[in-house]
């Protein structure tokens, strides 16, 4: 089966949805058949993919047993809306509630090269479902004190999912996101993350920029909207490929970087 990566954060505003959308775009440009799953009732990832707000069925319908996951794929995303919150409440009293998403995605994992799951900005049942359905997890955090506190809570939930329901779940890495590295606070945050997570911390930092919000508002991937601002995500993809053992794709990634990003915008991915 393919890898499934859950991207999570304990709070909103850490750039995790932009991360999912940007990584999906890069991996697709590398020739992979990628599916994004919007597991957040706010539906921001669905909007970023420009999914029809009236799309049916959605992830909520899938979790309620009213549709197959394959039938809920609209373009390259399984979208979500507020019905997902209703579905999550409905799962609360059911036996095996934590494995519902894993069971639903089983067939899609056989047909896709990679599945990326955008978790809600909470550590509740929906996030647990995403972690149980995933092979790997990426933690996204911003350079804020309370975000660092939230990282410990996220790790507790990840460990719980791994210990009790998904022993193969692996922390792929921790990413400092939307960071202004010119500030002392951001640099101190990076050092604190390095001390806590060691080599699990990605070397790539996603730098703060308003253009990410602009690209989301226009439902245009960052490499199409402002290619030079996509340099960080190209670098991050290189790290992810190495950690997944897909070094054979690095040459194509370097070619892609040369095609879409001006040489002055970022360093090599190699």
The rounded average pLDDT for each run of 10 residues, N- to C-terminus, in the chain (270 residues) is: 92 87 98 98 96 95 96 98 93 91 97 97 93 97 77 91 95 94 90 94 95 94 94 97 97 95 53
d(CA 102, CA 143): 32
Q: Please name each of the domains of the chain with its CATH number.
A: 3-265 (3.40.50.300)
pTM of the model: 0.94
Contact between 172 and 137 under an 8 Å Cβ cutoff? The reply is yes
Cis peptide before 57 (omega within 30 of 0): yes
Token reading at 127:
């996030």
d(CA 194, CA 124): 27
Helix (H, G, I), strand (E, B) or coil at 74: strand
> Burial letters for 193-227: b for 16+ Cβ neighbours within 10 Å, e otherwise?
beeebeeebbebbbbbeeebeebbeeebbbbebeb
Q: What is the pLDDT of residue 263?
A: 60
d(CA 179, CA 183): 9
Contact between 227 and 194 under an 8 Å Cβ cutoff? The reply is no
Q: What is the pLDDT of residue 145?
A: 66
Token reading at 146:
């309370």
d(CA 262, CA 266): 8
Q: What is the pLDDT of residue 268?
A: 43
Q: What is the pLDDT of residue 267?
A: 46
């Amino acid at each position: 089966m393919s890898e499934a990566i859950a991207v999570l954060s304990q709070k909103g505003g850490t750039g995790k949805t932009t991360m999912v959308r940007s990584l999906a775009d890069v991996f697709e440009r590398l020739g992979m058949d990628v599916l994004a799953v919007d597991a957040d009732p706010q539906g921001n990832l669905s909007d970023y993919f420009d999914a029809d707000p009236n799309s049916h069925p959605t992830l909520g319908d899938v979790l309620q047993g009213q549709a197959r996951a394959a039938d809920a794929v609209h373009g390259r995303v399984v979208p979500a809306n507020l019905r997902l919150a209703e579905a999550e409440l409905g799962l609360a009293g059911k036996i095996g509630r934590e494995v519902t998403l894993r069971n639903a995605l089983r067939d899609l994992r056989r047909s896709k090269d990679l599945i990326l799951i955008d978790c809600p900005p909470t550590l509740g049942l929906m996030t647990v479902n995403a972690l149980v359905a995933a092979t790997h997890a990426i933690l996204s955090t911003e350079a804020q004190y309370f975000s660092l506190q939230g990282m410990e809570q996220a790790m507790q939930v990840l460990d719980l999912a791994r210990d009790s329901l998904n022993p193969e779940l692996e922390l792929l890495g921790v990413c400092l996101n939307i960071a202004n590295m010119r500030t002392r606070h951001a640099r101190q945050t990076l050092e604190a993350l390095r001390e806590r997570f060691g080599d699990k911390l990605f070397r790539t930092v996603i730098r703060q920029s308003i253009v990410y919000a602009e690209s989301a508002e226009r439902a245009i991937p960052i490499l199409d909207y402002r290619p030079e601002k996509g340099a960080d995500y190209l670098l991050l993809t290189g790290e992810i490929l190495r950690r997944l053992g897909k070094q054979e794709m690095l040459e194509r990634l370097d070619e892609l970087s040369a095609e879409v990003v001006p040489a002055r915008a970022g360093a090599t991915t190699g």
